[in-house]
Amino acid sequence: MILAVMSDTHDHIWNVRKALRLIQERDVEAIIHCGDFIAPFVLKELDQAQIPVHGVFGNNDGDQYLLTKLSMTELSNITLYGLMGELELGDFKVAFTHYRAVADGLAATGQFDLVCFGHSHEAFIEKVGKTDLLNPGEVMGKDGSPGFYLVDTSTRKYELVSLM
């Protein structure tokens, strides 16, 4: 399965649209969003990709009630989890959050193949035991090059995709 991991879109609708075009070209089967969507219109944009989107809240997602309500009523492809989420994709287990401290704790358990987080806007991967710890950077492009990661869950290959 090909999975897109993104974070910190911060209402940058133009980069969200670029990311979604690339995601559709690469036959991505699901998106994980590690928080800081900001406004409901970003959820609506993500929903239009017609693939499952699994997300958590970040520190800038102020109206969590409205985001949750929208995801549960008007949108059919968005699932929001709160502070952290986890998925089993075949035999590949992934957890995701917005915060590094939570991600470090999840990775330390050794229960997951991949743990993703956002918040720092800095893309990187490191190994924690058997777990890959991934920060996809930022879609917004405020602090660095905008982008996201593609993950092949069967080969455990990771590709940083630039939106420049």
SS3 22: helix
Q: How far apart are CA 85 and CA 122, in angstroms?
A: 21
Beta-ladder partners of 85: 96
Token pair recorded at residue 54: 């699994």
Q: How far apart are CA 88 and CA 41, in angstroms?
A: 28
Angle between helical axes of 13-25 and 40-47 (0-180°, round to 10)? 20
User: Which of 140, 137, 155, 147 minimizes the C-alpha distance to 91?
Assistant: 155
- pLDDT at position 5: 98
Q: What is the pLDDT of residues 7-59, one digit of tens each?
A: 999 999 999 999 999 999 999 999 999 999 999 999 999 999 999 999 999 99
Q: What is the pLDDT of residues 122-164, one digit of tens each?
A: 999 999 999 999 999 999 999 889 999 999 999 999 999 999 9
- pLDDT at position 79: 98
Domains of the chain: 2-162 (3.60.21.10)
Q: How far apart are CA 31 and CA 4, in angstroms?
A: 5
Kindly state the average pLDDT of the residues 92-100.
Answer: 98
Which of the four pLDDT bands, split at 50, 70 and 90, describes residue 62? Answer: confident
Q: What is the pLDDT of residues 104-120, one digit of tens each?
A: 999 999 999 999 999 99
Q: Is the pTM of this model over 0.75?
A: yes
What is the residue-averaged pLDDT of the chain? 97
